[in-house]
Amino acid sequence: MISDFPQTILEAKIFQDRIAKNTILEDQFSKIKTIGAFDISYKDDKAFAAGIIIDSITEEVLEEKVIVSKIPFPYVPTYLFLREVPSFISLLSEISIKPDLILIDGHGIAHPKNTGSATVFGVLTEIPSIGVAKKPLKFFNYKQTELEFLKQVILNKNFVGYRYQPKTSWNPVFISPGNKVSVKSSFTLVQNLFKKSFKLPFPLHKAHNLATEFRKSN
């Protein structure tokens, strides 16, 4: 699929249908020893994609990498994957440690066509992936769980992820599986990566800071 990555919105619509049909929403991982986190920052016509790989037990940063590329596509709502995924795939190819799980700053199946950046990336790379987004989409509805800080994200009457707000003073994040992870596990895995002082799971916090600092210095 990577070789025929879409170049137009029309191609993207067809491509999204193919991705959705190939998405696996079951846990297809055993022991997670390493976790990756990918984020991207923009400046002018450049994309700064940053990746962090951590040891899931010790939380040690094993590898970090930033790549710079030209932004491949203008911003179009619900087609953000056209801007982000090519950089994330290039970033993965530059990293020597292939993680057991990757967090993507963006949506997974919590997307009108169930094909956010984390899902497209996960299907193309066949790596278990989870989307962690900082902003909701206008299509979202919510169902309160038994936990005050947690709501289910409902899209087209389907349960596709979670709205998680660990502290009332923090903005919520929106968690949904990308590929090869169940909806329930997507939350459990991400929740375990939150720290008291970080508003994002800490691998994504580190990736976000790395991308931002690199953009500011270039």
Q: How far is CA 147 from CA 59, 161, 165, 210, in A?
A: 27, 15, 10, 33
Alpha-carbon span 144 to 171, nearest angstrom: 17
Query: Low-confidence residues of the chain, pLDDT below 50?
Result: 1
Q: pTM for the whole thing? A: 0.95
Domains, the chain, with CATH or none: 2-138+174-216 (3.30.2170.10)
- Report the length, in residues, of the chain: 218
Per-residue model confidence as pLDDT tens digits over 158-167: 999 999 999 9
Tell me what pLDDT residue 1 has.
Answer: 47
Q: What token pair was written down for 97?
A: 């440690």
Tell me what pLDDT residue 3 has.
Answer: 63
